[in-house]
Structure 1
């Protein structure tokens, strides 16, 4: 490869499709049938304020680097300080922003073989029309081209929402949030998109943490309910879930160390709650009460209809110093082993066949796809297997997911549809495109093996992109 080849951004039209010519031809047709279908994004972290206020993005770094822990964590592993990428910085100068982009380009080699490379290159080529591969030498030129683009009306958030073909997008929100930006969008006659809040109560379900009592005080204030008792906590949660549903929420989202959910008897729940409010609860007691809280969230879901999603088994903020300096959600979260079958049995025994209950289970532990999640989804009408998430949101893992889940009892119809789970707004089309290409490759294999007809394959592709996310999230 010559030096000039290194400077060219290679975004091949057949990227991620099968290399075998016969299968590639089938996959091209399958991918072509869905590549322009609308994007449905039922779980993500793009701030509603961006679309409500529709203000221009400030600069390439705060748009593409600082909020994206997928990008930041590999740079950090390569020796770049998170502070130099703008993470946790409130006063980040224009020159510092430009230097952060230079650091990304100088370390571009670190992304080889990763999905970040696919997403980022797709953004550069398809959104900004950039033909240069990032290098230390051309970092400023790429930065300037992006900066010039995002200063135009065509690159404001609402314009990009329409350009990307987004049909629906969900944010992730604290139970105490006033959802004013969702209200602003709903009351704006010039806005015709769909942006829904998601109820994320994790912190309010962890009674052994130091911040819990303060959060429960806040919960009482915003709900107007006395949270001094366990019954008050339940009533306050029901109040806030209703508030979220009134503002368009379709789901609640839960992530704890394990997916445990088990009901305590009333007296024990009240006893442990009182200990927690007094700041005297032990870690083991806190886990027991947290699992009861999760069970109660499932019970509430049968009544208000919010879809319950769970993505457990992550060691959050693994590096204490980074947490202290930069806060949470900066890429320092590491997966741990998961177990679902025993942990969710009490919940599914109680609600698994309830007609108003739906549960989408995500994991970063691939070993449970065929052993636990697919068999559950293949029996319980309420259960869907969530798409590969976070560290397994990459080409080879997505292929393994389809092979592990489809034949192990879930088929295609018990899966969630793709979930981008991102704060990086401009990466959303690339992430969904990656999923569509990979699914086209997998379904093409089934056609090539005469396990599906071409008509069945085309119908399946449409279902994976549109029908399944609508079904799993009751859209």
Structure 2
């Protein structure tokens, strides 16, 4: 039986002298608070604070990073308990799901998922044997016993993880009742919503008209025309801000932000209401609304997160059967320079506006994003996101952007996770990689050790607090 151990120097540079410096830097940040400004943990989990169902539904089923690897090797999503949109049968036995996961443990070698999973198992749950077909039941029983205890309920873990703030991602039509319940509960944890209007600005999306009608219901504004639509969005943003929201979130296909003339926007919106909008007009309206969302962020102070460049739901059959966010979102190339020029020309130097740019296309780091962040006062760079939230990509990110944008035009690490127990593991990856990068600057005479420690602490806490502070704060 192979033991599960963690190397305390994992991800640090291998050269002994640089590693010693990295240890020193990392020692100052490893236990700092976690500021999680972008993720997909549901507020309901922390509002209700119920024990997690079982190990599989805690660590496997909700994490598409995990399920996509197993699916890529031929496992059916149904066999991993992934819910079907039609309510059809899927595996309900958590132990069977866990056995399938353990049988595929070797598939995660060299991936960030392996790092996160090992950290969760070893550091959070005290597991000391490698997952395998032979150890699956033993580990499952140990995990099941742990998550049944009060110390492993969501709020207790939140506190044990040292989370200072957790931002969720929420539909614009959400009534945020779970956030209200958390605020009224007397618990000290800080959980804030994030406004994500994607479903309302992409006119060709199935269900758009239904969502616009729901927007009217929750906002109290008449969305029958374009003016009412904008008024409803402003009302919802104000409600989110009142509930503690710091940011908005925009996952457009491209970075196009060209505004339409008012009459054209009204015409396209009316066509969509009538069910007669074409693809070209729908795309133009989405770009226009990115510009309008920037205007609203300038006015209400919510930080605008933009992460274009993903073809969502690449396999239509998987999307139809299981819905979105099932591991079939594939990167595409994006032109940030021309796409964002209208938006940044209007708002990029306005002190009331702040945007954070994310990408999963590494080729844009040094060519486009770092120069934009190094020029426009409003722009910050988000850490490598999603497919690239891996140790090697994080290192390449620092190498590509630091000389042009520096450290203080970035926004801090975001974990972008649905897997609650993996939050500390993901932030630990970032802290180790940054410590190693800073150690190389010390070893090459570019920074003093004192400056490296100060920078590491800032990247972990000061930078995200500043980047996501409400404008005017």
TM-score (norm 2): 0.97
**Deviation of the 1:187 alpha carbon:** 1.2
Alignment counterpart, residue 274 of structure 2, candidates 268, 274, 278: 278
- How far apart are the structure 2 equivalents of 1:464 and 1:312? 24
- How far apart are the structure 1 equivalents of 2:91 and 2:351? 54
Q: Which residue of 1 aligns with 2:200?
A: 204
**Deviation of the 1:10 alpha carbon:** 2.8
Alignment counterpart, residue 385 of structure 2, candidates 389, 392, 398: 389
- How far apart are the structure 2 equivalents of 1:54 and 1:282? 45
Provide Cα deviations, 1:318-354, integer angstroms capped at 9, x if missing partner: 1111111111111111111111000000000010111
Provide Cα deviations, 1:348-373, integer angstroms capped at 9, x if missing partner: 00101111110000000001111111
Q: Is the 8 A contact 2:81 2:91 kept in 1?
A: no
Q: Is the 8 A contact 1:124 1:130 kept in 2?
A: yes
Q: Is the 8 A contact 1:168 1:193 kept in 2?
A: yes
Q: Is the 8 A contact 1:182 1:196 kept in 2?
A: yes
The reply to whether residue 434 of structure 1 matches residue 429 of structure 2 is yes
Q: Which residue of 2 aligns with 1:353?
A: 349
- How far apart are the structure 1 equivalents of 2:301 and 2:4? 46
Q: Is the 8 A contact 2:91 2:97 kept in 1?
A: no
Structure 2 unaligned blocks of 5 or more: none
**Deviation of the 1:214 alpha carbon:** 1.5
Provide Cα deviations, 1:194-227, integer angstroms capped at 9, x if missing partner: 1000001001000122321121111111111111
Give the secondary-structure state (helix, strand or coil) at the position aligned to 2:356.
Answer: strand
Question: Which aligned pairs between 1:14-413 and structure 2 lie closer than 5 A?
Answer: 14-88=9-83, 96-189=93-186, 191-407=187-403, 409-413=404-408
Segment of structure 1 superposing worse, 356-365 or 225-234: 225-234
- How far apart are the structure 2 equivalents of 1:378 and 1:92? 52
**TM-aligned CA distance change 1:91 to 1:325, over 3 Å:** closer
Q: Is the 8 A contact 1:102 1:140 kept in 2?
A: yes
Segment of structure 1 superposing worse, 27-36 or 219-228: 219-228
Segment of structure 1 superposing worse, 33-42 or 318-327: 318-327
Structure 1 unaligned blocks of 5 or more: none
Q: Which residue of 1 aligns with 2:445?
A: 450
Give the secondary-structure state (helix, strand or coil) at the position aligned to 1:341.
Answer: helix
Q: Which residue of 2 aligns with 1:10?
A: 5
Give the secondary-structure state (helix, strand or coil) at the position aligned to 1:137.
Answer: coil
**Deviation of the 1:272 alpha carbon:** 1.3
**Deviation of the 1:460 alpha carbon:** 0.4
Give the secondary-structure state (helix, strand or coil) at the position aligned to 1:342.
Answer: helix
- How far apart are the structure 2 equivalents of 1:269 and 1:460? 45
- How far apart are the structure 1 equivalents of 2:421 and 2:383? 20
Segment of structure 1 superposing worse, 210-219 or 132-141: 210-219
Give the secondary-structure state (helix, strand or coil) at the position aligned to 2:175.
Answer: coil
Q: Is the 8 A contact 2:356 2:380 kept in 1?
A: yes
**Deviation of the 1:93 alpha carbon:** 8.8
- How far apart are the structure 1 equivalents of 2:100 and 2:223? 48
Give the secondary-structure state (helix, strand or coil) at the position aligned to 1:23.
Answer: helix
Give the secondary-structure state (helix, strand or coil) at the position aligned to 1:169.
Answer: strand
Give the secondary-structure state (helix, strand or coil) at the position aligned to 1:34.
Answer: coil
**Deviation of the 1:392 alpha carbon:** 0.5
**Deviation of the 1:96 alpha carbon:** 2.3
Q: Which residue of 1 aligns with 2:462?
A: 467
**Deviation of the 1:133 alpha carbon:** 0.7
Give the secondary-structure state (helix, strand or coil) at the position aligned to 1:134.
Answer: coil
Give the RMSD, CA atoms, in angstroms.
1.2
Q: Is the 8 A contact 2:82 2:90 kept in 1?
A: no
Provide Cα deviations, 1:449-475, integer angstroms capped at 9, x if missing partner: 000001110100001100111111116
**TM-aligned CA distance change 1:88 to 1:95, over 3 Å:** closer
TM-score (norm 1): 0.97
Aligned residues: 468
Q: Is the 8 A contact 1:447 1:454 kept in 2?
A: yes
- How far apart are the structure 2 equivalents of 1:160 and 1:289? 43
Q: Is the 8 A contact 2:79 2:90 kept in 1?
A: no
Q: Is the 8 A contact 2:81 2:90 kept in 1?
A: no
